[in-house]
Structure 1
């Protein structure tokens, strides 16, 4: 074989080897790209999974906070209900005691009048001066009326007043003695009373017409 042919043959072999090397490099690069792509896909999947777990954890945390808030509100409600129940019981007890104490105070203020009446009754048994007895009874009556007034009890005015059905109970109607007395109360059959401006007994009256 001539040198010229040998050189050409060597040259072709070198080109072939170089071509094979280039092809191998291309295959290697392609394989690396595939591996990189596969790795990226795996990383992306892991991130997505991690992201999903994070949302679930957030929901679980929110649920736990909500349950704790509900438990706290329930505890506050139960405490408030218990406090209100205690307040109601205490108020009812205080009101009952106030009524009882108020009644006892009113009775205590009347006892001196009872003492005066007992003495007057004893005096009447041997008294000869009728006017003195009448005067004593009148004083006892005035004392009693004052005690009633001190306890908020007032006599309802009647004679000369216009009929007021909120205060008066007309049991009879008679011809008025004068023109001025027409439509007005001319007589009181039974005294009426108010306590703290509330009627406890209407006055029974006679009205002129």
Structure 2
């Protein structure tokens, strides 16, 4: 074979090899394009599937959310009922506190009533005792008055008579300071609450049912009568 033939044959082989490589490259390109298209289609289908699943999930979540809201309302209502029930039901400590408070209030009221009653009884006992003492002193006052009335006018300047007069005045001042007062009788209308009528006389000089004379002076102690006036009533 000549050199030219060998070159020609080599060129033909090179062309054939290049053509084959070009065909293979085109085939690979077509396969790659087809694969890319399939991949894009698969991705689009997957995205569509995901969108459908999301919509389905949203649709499924709506009833679940409603059920959850209903459960929350029930739970809240139950808590409110429990809370309201606890408000109505008193605790044992609160009941004990109320019981002790009520007992203390009652005891304080009873003690206050007892104190008032005791003070009233003490006051009454004091007045009874004071009236008893005054009744025993009044005869002494009567004797002072009788003795001073029996002193002649010329002897009233006697130191003894003056001393007795001062003692009498001091005694009457002391009685007046503690609430003892003589009852007005002569010339006043007869009052059975203060006067004790032992005699009756018809005398035109006095009005009807008027005290004409006083035999024994009467006294009051704090508006209550210790001794009635012994009097003679006219008309």
Q: State the TM bucket, normalised to the shorter chain.
A: 0.5 to 0.7
- Residue in structure 1 matching 2:225, options 194, 199, 203: 199
Does the residue aligned with 1:176 lie in a helix, a strand or coil?
Answer: coil
Q: Which residue of 1 aligns with 2:189?
A: 162
Q: CA deviation at 1:39?
A: 1.1
Q: CA deviation at 1:175?
A: 1.4
Q: RMSD of aligned C-alpha atoms?
A: 4.8
| Rg larger for | 2
- Residue in structure 2 matching 1:56, options 69, 74, 81: 81
Q: TM-score, normalised by structure 2?
A: 0.49
Q: Which residue of 1 aligns with 2:69?
A: 44
Q: TM-score, normalised by structure 1?
A: 0.54
Per-residue CA deviation, residues 94-117 of structure 1 (Å, 9 max, x unaligned), is: 555566677389849x78x98xx9
Does the residue aligned with 2:231 lie in a helix, a strand or coil?
Answer: strand
Report the CA distance shift for 1:173/1:99 in structure 2 as closer, same or farther (over 3 A): closer
Q: CA deviation at 1:93?
A: 4.7
8 Å Cα contact 2:197/2:230 also seen in 1: yes
Matches within 5 A, 1:1-209: 28=53, 31-64=56-89, 72-93=97-118, 103=129, 107=133, 139=164, 142=168, 146=172, 148-176=175-203, 178=205, 181-183=206-208, 184-209=210-235
Q: CA deviation at 1:49?
A: 1.4
Report the CA distance shift for 1:92/1:144 in structure 2 as closer, same or farther (over 3 A): farther
8 Å Cα contact 1:106/1:151 also seen in 2: no
Q: CA deviation at 1:160?
A: 2.0
Does the residue aligned with 1:42 lie in a helix, a strand or coil?
Answer: helix
Partner Cα separation in structure 2 for residue 156 and residue 76 of structure 1: 54
Does the residue aligned with 1:205 lie in a helix, a strand or coil?
Answer: strand
Q: CA deviation at 1:131?
A: 7.2
Tell me how many residue pairs correspond in the alignment. Answer: 171
Per-residue CA deviation, residues 29-71 of structure 1 (Å, 9 max, x unaligned), is: 6643442133123212211112212211320342256987665
